[in-house]
C-alpha cells in the first residue's frame, strides 16, 4: 500500500467521511499497515508527538540566568568599580570591573549548562514515561511506542489506555473515553462506529477518539487519521506542553533565600555608608568600594546551579533504581513521607498467578502438591491430589470452561498476554483440555466497584459466564451445579461456599467465584443477564509475595515509615498476605467498615489499621484524606483508571510501569518501572539523601557568604576605629577586595559544593524518622549553624587580619592572610559538616579531588605571578603558622558550638 498524494491524508472532516472513503483516503484497511509502510509513513509524517510550544529555547534559558536580583547587584558592583574613576580622588579599577564581568559571564554560562542538562534529562524522563500503543501491523497485534503511530494504523483501545492519536472508531464494545483534556468536560463520552454530519462539533463526534484523551471503559479498534501536531490537541496551542510548574520547593526556597540575602546586603550597605559618611572622615570613593565589596560578598553565586545539578543528578540516580520521577518536586516530598499505602497484586506480590485449588460439586481439588501448605496434617485437597488422576476430573470442567470463556487473554504464538488473573484461568483451562470458545456476543465489563465480569458467548446456544469476587457472584446465583445436575442453592450450600472461600483465603489464595446460565436475549438488560445464575464453583490462585518486600517494609519501619495494605481482594486473603509480609492484620477493615464510619471515627482508628480489604478507589481516597488530615505525608500506589484521583491527591502518587493503565501513570508523580514495592523504599532513601546533600551545601555556601559579609562589615567598622588613618582614604582601604571574594565564592567554594551535591548517602539515612513536611532546607538548626560559622569566621579571620596588620604594618599582607585563611577554613570545614553525618572524607572521591584542586589553585594564586593580578603577596612559613593557629581556634570553637547545637536540637529529627 502506498500513497503519493499526502493531501488525501489531510482531511479536516474525518468524522463525516464514509468508512469506504476513509480507508481509501488513508490507503489502509482494517487489517492494518505493513511494518514497511509504517516506517515509510513515519518518515513522511514525522513522529506522533506534540512539540512543546512552551519549551524554553536555549537562548531564553541563557538570558534567564542573568535575570536574578543577585546578578543585578553584581552588575551594579561592576559599574560602580568603573564609576569610582569619575569621583574626584578615585581611579577606575578596570581589572576589577573586568573580573566581575567575567565572573557574571562564567556564572551565567555555568548555570545555563546545568539548567540545560537538567531540562534535557527531565525531558528524557518524560519520554521514558510516554505511553505505548497497541497496533495491528503485518497482520499481528503489536505494542509500539505511541510516538511511532502513523496515519492508517489500526489501534486497539482498552480500558485505561491513553488514546495515541486522533482516530476513527471502527468497532467498539461499550467504549467510553474521557475527553476532558480536550473539551474540559469530564463526563465519559460513548464512542461508536459510524458517520456523523460535517458540522458536528468536536465534543459530539461519537465516531472519533482523540489524542491525549483516555479510555475509561470498554474496548474497541480505531484507524488513525492524524498524528502529532496534526491532531486536535496539537492544534490547540494553549493546551500544549506541560503546564505544571516544575520548579521544586528547594529551588523556590533558594530563590527566596537569594532575595533575603539581597535585602540584607542592601541594608548593610546603607548602614555602613551612613555610619562612615556621618561619623568618619572616610572619602566617598572608599565608602563606595565598601558597598561594592559587601554586595559581592553577599551573593552566593554558585548556589542555584549547584541545586539544579544535584536535583538532576538525583532524578537520574532514581531512574537507575527503577523509580521514574515524573515531577521533580516529588524528590523533596519523598524525604518527608511517613506512610505508604500500597495495593497488593503485583506491588507486594509477584503478580504471577497460578490456579492451585478448585472447588466444584462439593469437593476441593488441589492442583499443587507442594505450593499450598496448610497447617497441621495433609488437607482434604492434598489427599485428593495424592490420589493421582483426580487433577482434572469431569466435575470441574464447567468451572474451568467458565474461567476460559469469561476471559480477555490474548494467546498468540503460545504466549499469553493480558491480566495475570485471567492468564492463570486460561492456562489451567488449557491444561485441562477445555475446548476453544464460541463467538463472543457481549461483555459486561469488570470494574473494581462491580467486582465481577460477565460475557455472553455462543456456545451452541447463547450462554452467560460470570466470574468475580465469590460473595458478589453468589449474590447473583439461585442454583448450583453439582455432578452435572442443577440444584437449588440452599442457605446451607451458600454457607459451605463461604466457608470454602474462607479456607482458601486463609492460605493467602486469591479466590474467584464462577457462574453461568443460558440466555434467551443476549442484548437484554445487564441486570437481567447477571441474575438467577447457576453457581459453578471456586478457583483459588496463588500469587506469592515478592521475596524482597518483607525486608523493604522492615526498612521503612525503622525509617519511621508505616506501610498500609489497601487491596480490592477479600479480607481473609488480605490479612494472610499482610501477615506474610510483616504487617499486623489485627483490626483490619473492609471497604464497608469504612463506609460505616464517620470521618472522626476513621481518624481515631486509622493509626492502628495496617490492612484494608475489599476497598474501591473511592475508599482509597478516603483512607488517603484521613491520613493527610491527621498530618501524614503519604505515598499512594494505584494502577486502575479510577485510581487517578487518589494518585493526584497523594503527596507522592505512584503508578506502575509494567502493569496498570496509562491513566494511572499520567496521574502519578512517580512510576515504578519494576512495579516493585521495594523500589518505593529505594526512592524514599534517595529522596532523603538528596535532601541532605542540598542541606549540606546550602549550609556550606550560605555560611561563607554570611561570614564574608560580616568580615567586611565588622572589619571596616573596626578598622575605621582602630586604624582611622588607613581606613579612611585610599582604595586599598578594604578588608578584602571584591576580586578576592569572588574568587573564594566561585573557585574555592563551588567545586567542593558540587562534589557535596554528589555526596554518597549517609549510612544511617533510613534509621532516622522522616523530616517534618513543613520543614524547609534551612531549619532552625541549619540557621543557627550558618550564623555561628559566619560569626566564628569573622571573629577568627579579623583576629588574624588585625594581628597581621599590627605586626607587619602591611595591609596587602593582612589581606593575603585573611584571604588564604578563609579558603583553608572553607576547604576543611566541609568535612566538619559531613562528619555530622558520620561520613569519612574518603567516601567521596569527587570531594577529595575538588578540595585538592581548590588548594592547588590557591597556592598558584599565592606563589605564581598570578598574585600580581589578585593583588596578594606570597605568605611566609610563619604566616602559615598564624593561619594554623587561627584555624585551630576556629575549629575548637566550632566543635564546641556544634556540640551545643546538637544538644539543643538533638530531639529534632533531621540533621
Ligand atoms: P489490588 O487492589 O491489591 O490490586 P485486586 O486486584 O484484588 O487487588 P481489584 O482489581 O479491585 O483488586 O479487584 C477486586 C476483586 O474483584 C478481586 O478481589 C476479585 O475478586 C475480583 N476480580 C479481579 N479481577 C477480576 C476480573 N478480571 N474479573 C472478574 N473479577 C475480578
pLDDT tens string 488-509: 999 999 999 999 999 999 999 9
**Could you report the per-residue pLDDT of 16-38, keeping only the tens digit for each?**
888 888 888 888 888 899 999 99
Query: Confidence class of residue 645 from pLDDT cuts 50, 70 and 90?
Result: confident
- Alpha carbon distances (Å) from 312 to 28, 74, 326, 711: 44, 27, 12, 34
Task: Write down the mean pLDDT value for the chain.
Answer: 84
What per-residue confidence (pLDDT) applies to 608? 93
The verdict on the CB of residue 569 being under 6 Å from ligand 1 is yes
What per-residue confidence (pLDDT) applies to 624? 95
The verdict on the CB of residue 446 being under 6 Å from ligand 1 is yes
Average pLDDT over residues 426-450: 88
What per-residue confidence (pLDDT) applies to 55? 58
What per-residue confidence (pLDDT) applies to 795? 93
The verdict on the CB of residue 343 being under 6 Å from ligand 1 is yes
What per-residue confidence (pLDDT) applies to 125? 63
Query: Confidence class of residue 282 from pLDDT cuts 50, 70 and 90?
Result: low
Q: What are the boundaries of each domain within the chain? A: 8-53+129-240, 98-121+246-319+684-910, 323-349+546-675, 354-542
pLDDT at 720 over 90: no
Q: Which atom of ligand 1 is nearest to the CA of 616?
A: 11
Q: How much distance in Å is there from the Cα of 507 to the middle of ligand 1?
A: 17
pLDDT at 484 over 60: yes
Beta-carbon contacts of 511 under 8 Å, excluding residues fewer than 6 positions away, are 470, 501, 504, 505, 538, 539, 540, 541, 570, 573
DSSP code of residue 736 = S
**Could you report the per-residue pLDDT of 746-775, keeping only the tens digit for each?**
777 888 888 988 888 888 888 888 988 778
What per-residue confidence (pLDDT) applies to 495? 97
CA dihedral (673, 678, 682, 683) positive or negative: positive
The verdict on the CB of residue 422 being under 6 Å from ligand 1 is yes
Helices (H), 668-759: 677-722, 738-743, 750-757
As a three-state string, the secondary structure of 97-113 is: HHHHHHHHHHHHHHHHH
Average pLDDT over residues 457-485: 95
For 675, the 3-state DSSP assignment is coil
* Closest CA relative to residue 456, chosen from 447, 465, 445: 465
pLDDT above 90 covers what percent of the chain? 41
What per-residue confidence (pLDDT) applies to 794? 93
Q: Tell me which CATH code domain 98-121+246-319+684-910 carries.
A: 1.20.1110.10
Residue of minimum CA distance from atom 12 in ligand 1? 568
Query: Confidence class of residue 265 from pLDDT cuts 50, 70 and 90?
Result: confident
What per-residue confidence (pLDDT) applies to 281? 63
pLDDT at 561 over 90: yes
Least confident range of 143-157, 388-402, 551-565, 857-871: 388-402
**Using CB atoms within 10 A of its CB, is residue 135 exposed (0-12), middle (13-18) or buried (19+)?**
buried
**Could you report the per-residue pLDDT of 569-592, keeping only the tens digit for each?**
999 999 999 999 999 999 999 999
Query: Confidence class of residue 198 from pLDDT cuts 50, 70 and 90?
Result: confident
Query: Confidence class of residue 425 from pLDDT cuts 50, 70 and 90?
Result: very high
* Closest CA relative to residue 228, chosen from 19, 77, 10: 10
Q: How much distance in Å is there from the Cα of 569 to the middle of ligand 1?
A: 6
pLDDT at 652 over 80: yes
The verdict on the CB of residue 451 being under 6 Å from ligand 1 is yes
Average pLDDT over residues 225-236: 82
What per-residue confidence (pLDDT) applies to 486? 95
Q: Which atom of ligand 1 is nearest to the CA of 468?
A: 30
The verdict on the CB of residue 567 being under 6 Å from ligand 1 is yes
Q: How much distance in Å is there from the Cα of 417 to the middle of ligand 1?
A: 18
* Closest CA relative to residue 539, chosen from 505, 588, 566, 494: 505
Residue of minimum CA distance from atom 20 in ligand 1? 469
Q: What is the per-residue DSSP string for 71-91?
A: HHHHHHHHHHHHHGGGSTT--
Residue of minimum CA distance from atom 1 in ligand 1? 567
What per-residue confidence (pLDDT) applies to 141? 87
Average pLDDT over residues 249-254: 71
Q: How much distance in Å is there from the Cα of 541 to the middle of ligand 1?
A: 12
pLDDT at 374 over 80: no
Quote the crossing angle between the two packed helices 780-808 and 811-835, to the nearest 10°: 150
Residue to substitute in 160, 355, 448, 637 for testing ligand 1 pocket (most ligand atoms within 8 angstroms of CB): 448
Beta-carbon contacts of 652 under 8 Å, excluding residues fewer than 6 positions away, are 330, 333, 334, 337, 634, 635, 636, 669, 670
pLDDT at 880 over 90: yes
- Alpha carbon distances (Å) from 485 to 360, 458, 481, 535: 12, 21, 5, 11
pLDDT at 373 over 50: no
Q: How much distance in Å is there from the Cα of 568 to the middle of ligand 1?
A: 6
Query: Of 385-394, 724-733, 842-851, which has the strongest mean pLDDT?
Result: 842-851
Average pLDDT over residues 453-460: 94
pLDDT at 383 over 70: no
At 114, give phi and psi (nearest 5°): -60, -50
What per-residue confidence (pLDDT) applies to 325? 85
Beta-carbon contacts of 634 under 8 Å, excluding residues fewer than 6 positions away, are 337, 338, 339, 340, 341, 624, 627, 628, 650, 651, 652
> What is d(CA 273, CA 288) in angstroms, rounded to the nearest whole number?
8
pLDDT at 4 over 70: no
Would you say 2 and 40 are in contact if contact means Cβ atoms under 8 Å apart?
Answer: yes
Q: How much distance in Å is there from the Cα of 85 to the middle of ligand 1?
A: 80
Query: Confidence class of residue 154 from pLDDT cuts 50, 70 and 90?
Result: very high
What per-residue confidence (pLDDT) applies to 376? 34
> What is d(CA 356, CA 373) in angstroms, rounded to the nearest whole number?
11
Q: Tell me which CATH code domain 8-53+129-240 carries.
A: 2.70.150.10
pLDDT above 70 covers what percent of the chain? 89
Distance of CA 467 to the CA centre of its chain: 36
Would you say 504 and 538 are in contact if contact means Cβ atoms under 8 Å apart?
Answer: yes
Q: How much distance in Å is there from the Cα of 528 to the middle of ligand 1?
A: 23
The verdict on the CB of residue 421 being under 6 Å from ligand 1 is yes
pLDDT at 187 over 90: no
Other C-beta atoms closer than 10 Å to the C-beta of 199 total 8
Catalytic residue among 343, 366, 749, 759: 343
Query: Confidence class of residue 387 from pLDDT cuts 50, 70 and 90?
Result: very low
Quote the crossing angle between the two packed helices 677-722 and 303-320, to the nearest 10°: 160
Q: Which residues lie across from 834 on neighbouring strands?
A: none
Pick the CATH number of 354-542 from 3.40.50.300, 3.40.1110.10, 3.30.2130.30, 1.10.420.10: 3.40.1110.10
Instruction: Specify the CATH class of 323-349+546-675 in words.
Output: alpha beta
Q: Which residues lie across from 455 on neighbouring strands?
A: 443, 465
What per-residue confidence (pLDDT) applies to 487? 95
Average pLDDT over residues 669-693: 91
DSSP code of residue 162 = B
The verdict on the CB of residue 452 being under 6 Å from ligand 1 is yes
| Residue 343 a catalytic site member | yes
Q: Which atom of ligand 1 is nearest to the CA of 570?
A: 18
Average pLDDT over residues 458-463: 92
Query: Confidence class of residue 52 from pLDDT cuts 50, 70 and 90?
Result: low
The verdict on the CB of residue 467 being under 6 Å from ligand 1 is yes
Q: Please tell me which residue, 808 or 898, carries the higher pLDDT value.
A: 808
Query: Confidence class of residue 657 from pLDDT cuts 50, 70 and 90?
Result: confident
What per-residue confidence (pLDDT) applies to 379? 40
What per-residue confidence (pLDDT) applies to 517? 96
The verdict on the CB of residue 545 being under 6 Å from ligand 1 is no
What per-residue confidence (pLDDT) applies to 732? 47
DSSP code of residue 793 = H
pLDDT at 363 over 70: yes
Q: How much distance in Å is there from the Cα of 363 to the middle of ligand 1?
A: 24
Query: Of 121-125, 182-186, 262-266, 471-475, which has the strongest mean pLDDT?
Result: 471-475
C-alpha cell at 620: 482509597
What per-residue confidence (pLDDT) applies to 249? 66
What per-residue confidence (pLDDT) applies to 239? 39
Strands 562-566 and 611-613: parallel
Helices (H), 249-335: 249-279, 284-298, 303-320, 329-334
The verdict on the CB of residue 14 being under 6 Å from ligand 1 is no
> What is d(CA 815, CA 871) in angstroms, rounded to the nearest whole number?
9
Q: Which residues lie across from 463 on neighbouring strands?
A: 457, 518
Query: Confidence class of residue 385 from pLDDT cuts 50, 70 and 90?
Result: very low
What per-residue confidence (pLDDT) applies to 2? 39
Amino acid at each position: 500500500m502506498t500513497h503519493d498524494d499526502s493531501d488525501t491524508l489531510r482531511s479536516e472532516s474525518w468524522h463525516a467521511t464514509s468508512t469506504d472513503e476513509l480507508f481509501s483516503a488513508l490507503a489502509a484497511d482494517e487489517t492494518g499497515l505493513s511494518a514497511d509502510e509504517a516506517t515509510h509513513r513515519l518518515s513522511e509524517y514525522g513522529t506522533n508527538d506534540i512539540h512543546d510550544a512552551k519549551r524554553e529555547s536555549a537562548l531564553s534559558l541563557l538570558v534567564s540566568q542573568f535575570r536574578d536580583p543577585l546578578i543585578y547587584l553584581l552588575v551594579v558592583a561592576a559599574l560602580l568599580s568603573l564609576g569610582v574613576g569619575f569621583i574626584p580622588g578615585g581611579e577606575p579599577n578596570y581589572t576589577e570591573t573586568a573580573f566581575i564581568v567575567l565572573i557574571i559571564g562564567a556564572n551565567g554560562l555555568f548555570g545555563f549548562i546545568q539548567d540545560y542538562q537538567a531540562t534535557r534529562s527531565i525531558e528524557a524522563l518524560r519520554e521514558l514515561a510516554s505511553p505505548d500503543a497497541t497496533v495491528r501491523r503485518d497482520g499481528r497485534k503489536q505494542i509500539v511506542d505511541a510516538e511511532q503511530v502513523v496515519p492508517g494504523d489500526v489501534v486497539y483501545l482498552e480500558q485505561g489506555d491513553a488514546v495515541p492519536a486522533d482516530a476513527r472508531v471502527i468497532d467498539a464494545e461499550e467504549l467510553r473515553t474521557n475527553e476532558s483534556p480536550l473539551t474540559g468536560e469530564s463526563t465519559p463520552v460513548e464512542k461508536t462506529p459510524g458517520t456523523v454530519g460535517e458540522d458536528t462539533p468536536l465534543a459530539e463526534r461519537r465516531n472519533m477518539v482523540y489524542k491525549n484523551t483516555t479510555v475509561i471503559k470498554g474496548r474497541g479498534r480505531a484507524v488513525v487519521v492524524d498524528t502529532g501536531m496534526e491532531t486536535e490537541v496539537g492544534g490547540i496551542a494553549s493546551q500544549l506542553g506541560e503546564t505544571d510548574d516544575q520548579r521544586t520547593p528547594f529551588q523556590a526556597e533558594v530563590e527566596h533565600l537569594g532575595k533575603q540575602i539581597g535585602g540584607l546586603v542592601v541594608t548593610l550597605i546603607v548602614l555602613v555608608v551612613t555610619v562612615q559618611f556621618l561619623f568618619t572622615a572616610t572619602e566617598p570613593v572608599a565608602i563606595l568600594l565598601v558597598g561594592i565589596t559587601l554586595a559581592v560578598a553577599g551573593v552566593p553565586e554558585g548556589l542555584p546551579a549547584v541545586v539544579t545539578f544535584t536535583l538532576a543528578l538525583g532524578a537520574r540516580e532514581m531512574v537507575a533504581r527503577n523509580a521514574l520521577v515524573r515531577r521533580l518536586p516529588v524528590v523533596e516530598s519523598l524525604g518527608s513521607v511517613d506512610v505508604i499505602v500500597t495495593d497488593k497484586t503485583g506491588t507486594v506480590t509477584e503478580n504471577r498467578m497460578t490456579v492451585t485449588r478448585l472447588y466444584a460439586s462439593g469437593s476441593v481439588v488441589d492442583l499443587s502438591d507442594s505450593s499450598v501448605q496448610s497447617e497441621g496434617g495433609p488437607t482434604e485437597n492434598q489427599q485428593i491430589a495424592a490420589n493421582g488422576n483426580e487433577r482434572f476430573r469431569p466435575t470441574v470442567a464447567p468451572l474451568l470452561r467458565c474461567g476460559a470463556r469469561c476471559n480477555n487473554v490474548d494467546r498468540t504464538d503460545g504466549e499469553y498476554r493480558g491480566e495475570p488473573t485471567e492468564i492463570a484461568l486460561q492456562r489451567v483451562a488449557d491444561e485441562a483440555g477445555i475446548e476453544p470458545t464460541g463467538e463472543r456476543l457481549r461483555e459486561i465489563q469488570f470494574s473494581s466497584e462491580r467486582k465481577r465480569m460477565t460475557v455472553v458467548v455462543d456456545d451452541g446456544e447463547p450462554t452467560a459466564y460470570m466470574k468475580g469476587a465469590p460473595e458478589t457472584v453468589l449474590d447473583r446465583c439461585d442454583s448450583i451445579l453439582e455432578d452435572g445436575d442443577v440444584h437449588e442453592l440452599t442457605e446451607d450450600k451458600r454457607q459451605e461456599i463461604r466457608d470454602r472461600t474462607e479456607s482458601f483465603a486463609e492460605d493467602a489464595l486469591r479466590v474467584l467465584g464462577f457462574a453461568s446460565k443460558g440466555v434467551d436475549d443476549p442484548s437484554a438488560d445487564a441486570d437481567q443477564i447477571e441474575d438467577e445464575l447457576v453457581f459453578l464453583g471456586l478457583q483459588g490462585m496463588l500469587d506469592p509475595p515478592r521475596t524482597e518486600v518483607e525486608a523493604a517494609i522492615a526498612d521503612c519501619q525503622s525509617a519511621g515509615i508505616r506501610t498500609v495494605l489497601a487491596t480490592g481482594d477479600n479480607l481473609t486473603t488480605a490479612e494472610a498476605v499482610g501477615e506474610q509480609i510483616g504487617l499486623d492484620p489485627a483490626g483490619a477493615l473492609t471497604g464497608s467498615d469504612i463506609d460505616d464510619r464517620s470521618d472522626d471515627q476513621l481518624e481515631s482508628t486509622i493509626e492502628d489499621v495496617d490492612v484494608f480489604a475489599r476497598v474501591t478507589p473511592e475508599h482509597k481516597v478516603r483512607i488517603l484524606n484521613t491520613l493527610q488530615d491527621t498530618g501524614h505525608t503519604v505515598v499512594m500506589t494505584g494502577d486502575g483508571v479510577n485510581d487517578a484521583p487518589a494518585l493526584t491527591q497523594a503527596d507522592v502518587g505512584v503508578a506502575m510501569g509494567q502493569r496498570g493503565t496509562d491513566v494511572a501513570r499520567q496521574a502519578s508523580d512517580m512510576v515504578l518501572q519494576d512495579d516493585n514495592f521495594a523500589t518505593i523504599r529505594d526512592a524514599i532513601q534517595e529522596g532523603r539523601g538528596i535532601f541532605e546533600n542540598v542541606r549540606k551545601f546550602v549550609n556550606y555556601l550560605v555560611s561563607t557568604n554570611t561570614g564574608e559579609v560580616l568580615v567586611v562589615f565588622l572589619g571596616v567598622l573596626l578598622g575605621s576605629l582602630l586604624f582611622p588613618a588607613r581606613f579612611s582614604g585610599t582604595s586599598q582601604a578594604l578588608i578584602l577586595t571584591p576580586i578576592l571574594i569572588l574568587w573564594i565564592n566561585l573557585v574555592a567554594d563551588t567545586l567542593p559544593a558540587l562534589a557535596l551535591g554528589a555526596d554518597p548517602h549517609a549510612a544511617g539515612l533510613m534509621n532516622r524518622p522522616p523530616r517534618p513536611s513543613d520543614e524547609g532546607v534551612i531549619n532552625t538548626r541549619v540557621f543557627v549553624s550558618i550564623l555561628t560559622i559566619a560569626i566564628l569566621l569573622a571573629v577568627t579571620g579579623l583576629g588574624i587580619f588585625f594581628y597581621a596588620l599590627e605586626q607587619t604594618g602591611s595591609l596587602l599582607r593582612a589581606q593575603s592572610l585573611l584571604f588564604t585563611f578563609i579558603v583553608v577554613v572553607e576547604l576543611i570545614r566541609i568535612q566538619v559538616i559531613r562528619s555530622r553525618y558520620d561520613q569519612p572524607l574518603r567516601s567521596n572521591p569527587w570531594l577529595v579531588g575538588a578540595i585538592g584542586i581548590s588548594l592547588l589553585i590557591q597556592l598558584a594564586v599565592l606563589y605564581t605571578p598570578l598574585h600580581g593580578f589578585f593583588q596578594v603577596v606570597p605568605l611566609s612559613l610563619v604566616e602559615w603558622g598564624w593561619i594554623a593557629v587561627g584555624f585551630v581556634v576556629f575549629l575548637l570553637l566550632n566543635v564546641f558550638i556544634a556540640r551545643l547545637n546538637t544538644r539543643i536540637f538533638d530531639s529534632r529529627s533531621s540533621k
